[in-house]
Amino acid sequence: MTTAMLGAPPAAADEEPPPEPPKVELVLDVSGSMRARDIDGRSRISVAQQAFNEVVDALPDNTQLGIRVLGATYPGRDKKIGCQDTQQIVPVGPVDRNQAKAAVATLRPTGFTPVGLALRAAAQDLGTGATTRRIVLITDGEDTCAPPDPCEVARELAAQGTRLVVDTLGLAPDEKVRRQLLCIAAATGGTYTAAQSAEELTGRIKQLVDRARDTYTQTPAQVGGGEQCAGAPLLAPGVYTDRERFSEHRWYRVPVRPGQELRASVSIALDRPVNRDHGVLLRATAPDGRELVRGADAGSGRTDVLSAGLRWSAADPDDDPDERDDGDEDGRDDEPVDGESGTDAPVLVCLVISNSLSPQAGTGTNPGMPVELTIDVVDSAPGPGAPDLGRGWLLLALLTVAGLLTGLLAGLLTRWWVATWRN
Of 7, 289, 331, 339, the one binding other proteins (CB under 8 A) is 7
Q: DSSP 3-state assignment of 112?
A: coil
Site string for other proteins, 312-351 (x = CB under 8 A): xx------------------------------xxx-x---
Of 103, 159, 221, 274, the one binding other proteins (CB under 8 A) is 221
Decide if 317 contacts 340 (C-beta within 8 A).
Answer: no
Q: Which residues pair with 131 in a beta bridge?
A: 218
CB nearer to other proteins: pick between 90 and 256: 256
Distance CA(119)–CA(68), nearest Å, equals 9
Site string for other proteins, 132-171 (x = CB under 8 A): x--------------------------------x----x-
Distance CA(4)–CA(187), nearest Å, equals 40
Q: How far is the CB of 261 from other proteins (least distance, A)?
A: 6
Q: How far is the CB of 91 from other proteins (least distance, A)?
A: 26
Residues listed for the chain: 423
Dihedral sign (CA 335, 339, 345, 351): negative
Residues 10-39 touching other proteins, rule: CB under 8 A, are 10-14
Residues 188-207 touching other proteins, rule: CB under 8 A, are 189-196, 200, 203-204, 207
Rg of the chain, C-alpha, whole Å: 32
CB nearer to other proteins: pick between 300 and 365: 300
Decide if 124 contacts 13 (C-beta within 8 A).
Answer: no
CA torsion 137-139-145-148 (nearest 10°) is 30
Q: Is 81 in the site for other proteins (CB under 8 A)?
A: no
Residues 236-255 touching other proteins, rule: CB under 8 A, are 236-240, 253, 255
Residues 402-421 touching other proteins, rule: CB under 8 A, are 402-412, 414-415
CB nearer to other proteins: pick between 56 and 201: 201
Of 211, 243, 272, 283, the one binding other proteins (CB under 8 A) is 211
> CB under 8 A: which stretch of 9-17, 62-70, 72-80, 350-358 binds other proteins?
9-17
Q: How far is the CB of 166 from other proteins (least distance, A)?
A: 12
Angle at 76 between CA 74 and CA 81, to 5 degrees: 60
Of 6, 77, 323, 366, the one binding other proteins (CB under 8 A) is 6
Distance CA(270)–CA(264), nearest Å, equals 20
CA distances from 159 to 26, 154, 304, 313, 393 (A): 21, 9, 16, 34, 62
Q: DSSP 3-state assignment of 100?
A: helix
Q: How far is the CB of 107 from other proteins (least distance, A)?
A: 24
Residues 93-132 touching other proteins, rule: CB under 8 A, are 130, 132
Q: How far is the CB of 105 from other proteins (least distance, A)?
A: 27
Distance CA(132)–CA(215), nearest Å, equals 8
Total interface residues for other proteins by CB under 8 A: 119
Q: How far is the CB of 88 from other proteins (least distance, A)?
A: 25
Residues 270-289 touching other proteins, rule: CB under 8 A, are none
Decide if 125 contacts 99 (C-beta within 8 A).
Answer: no
- Closest by CA to 29, choosing from 220, 174, 244, 156, is 174
